[in-house]
Amino acid sequence: MVLGIESSCDETGAGIVRDGRLLAHVVASSMDEHARFGGVVPEIAARAHLHAFNPVVRRALDRAGLRLDQIDAVAVTTGPGLSGALQVGLAGAKTLAYAAGVPLYGVHHLAGHVAADTLEHGPLPGPCVVLIVSGGHTSLLLVRDLVREPILHLGDTRDDAAGECFDKVARILGLPYPGGPAIDRAARDGDPKAVIFPRPLTRPGDDPYAFSFSGLKTAAARWVEQHRLRGEEPSVADGAAALQEAVADVLTRKALAACRAYDVKTLVVVGGVAANSRVRALAERRCASAGIELRVPPMTLCTDNGAMIAAVGDLLVRSGAEPAPLDVTVDPSAPLEYASLTPLPAGQPRSPGMTCRP
């Protein structure tokens, strides 16, 4: 019985997983507090985690019909993310693990997104290609065994992530924060062919698996600027639909190319942008045409949550991984190499048993 804690950004999440089955899942978001600033303010996020931590954990235990002393392990996001936000979650998780007398596991946030799919569709087939798309991350991965083997990065974003592009263009178009859902709603009434936005890094000779959405954001900004210089207001619906189409096209095109190149028959799409309706629809159509199985978690598990961290913790426990030491720290910029993430204070040597290795 694993309790998972997530606090890397603006959601405080607690989830409980047992043997791959989700028992409870509670999230408190501070998004409304950040909306007037057009993005997440780290200090506000950390303070919100402090207020939400105990109620969220309590509600998760209540929904599962459990007491804290019935928990067998605690898993917590130790990176990447906002430093102050991560520290709140880690401090709370350490307290719970110590109080319950159970082991603590440090988890990489992005591995959590990958594991979220297992709560809906069962164990990941090995190997599989995973496309992570969120506000801060866009990555293509080759995953064989999530907690026993290193995760191979096929490609990552070189600048803005897909979700970050949505946020920035939404602001230019006068849409509210967060930009992803706002772009998706506006695009329903638009024509995706009304504007031809560029498809970054898709020309012959470009890195086939790398992403870059900064230029796309700039192209959208220039399109809006040109209209306003002529004294016109651009069609928000058309701009949103065309932008969404460009992002979905690039994401799915590269993901399918990776599946073909590595002879993989399963594509897993995770992260907040996996909730985008056009990304889902285009991925479904292209996977069906290519004979590739598409797995996407339910909408509630696409965004940050404690259930996905509990899912990784559950896998680590069942694989026999060593727990983290109680002096484990956070790593706000941690690269994704292994699902287990147990950074230590500066100068302290790492024991070979502290992470799950083959």
pLDDT digits (tens, 9 = 90+) for 312-357: 999 999 999 999 998 999 999 999 999 999 998 865 654 433 333 2
Strands (E), the chain: 2-6, 11-18, 21-29, 73-79, 104-108, 128-133, 138-143, 152-156, 266-270, 293-295
Q: How many angstroms separate the CA atoms of 81 and 338, rounded?
A: 16
pLDDT of residue 32: 85
| 3 state SS of 139 | strand
pLDDT of residue 352: 38
Greatest distance between any 2 Cα atoms in the chain:
67
Residues forming beta bridges with residue 12, ordered by sequence position: 28
pLDDT of residue 348: 61
Q: Please indicate whether residue 219 or residue 39 has the higher confidence score (pLDDT).
A: 219
Average pLDDT over every residue of 97-113: 97
Calculate the average pLDDT of the chain: 94
Lowest mean per-residue pLDDT among 36-40, 108-112, 114-118: 36-40
What is the layout of strands, in order, in the sheet containing 73-79?
21-29, 11-18, 2-6, 73-79, 104-108
Q: How many angstroms separate the CA atoms of 221 and 227, rounded?
A: 10
Burial 53-68 (b: 16+ CB within 10 A, else e): beebbebbbeebebee
pLDDT of residue 263: 97
Average pLDDT over every residue of 163-191: 96
Q: How many angstroms separate the CA atoms of 348 and 358, rounded?
A: 23
| pLDDT at 20 exceeding the cut of 50 | yes
Q: Per-residue pLDDT tens for 267-320?
A: 999 999 999 999 999 999 999 999 999 999 999 999 999 999 999 999 999 999
pLDDT of residue 347: 56
Q: Per-residue pLDDT tens for 188-213?
A: 999 999 999 999 999 999 999 999 99
Q: How many angstroms separate the CA atoms of 272 and 274, rounded?
A: 5
Look up residue 280 and give its two tokens: 């889902």
pLDDT of residue 38: 82
pLDDT of residue 56: 98
pTM for the predicted model, two decimal places: 0.93
Look up residue 190 and give its two tokens: 């638009």
The residue among 140, 83, 84, 87 whose CA lies nearest residue 110 is 140
10 Å CB burial of residue 351 (0-12, 13-18, 19+) is exposed
pLDDT of residue 35: 85
Confidence of residue 92 (pLDDT cuts 50, 70, 90): very high
Lowest mean per-residue pLDDT among 35-39, 66-70, 75-79, 146-150: 35-39
16: which residues sit within 8 A by CB, 6+ positions away?
1, 2, 3, 4, 22, 23, 24, 25, 60, 61, 64, 66, 71, 307, 310
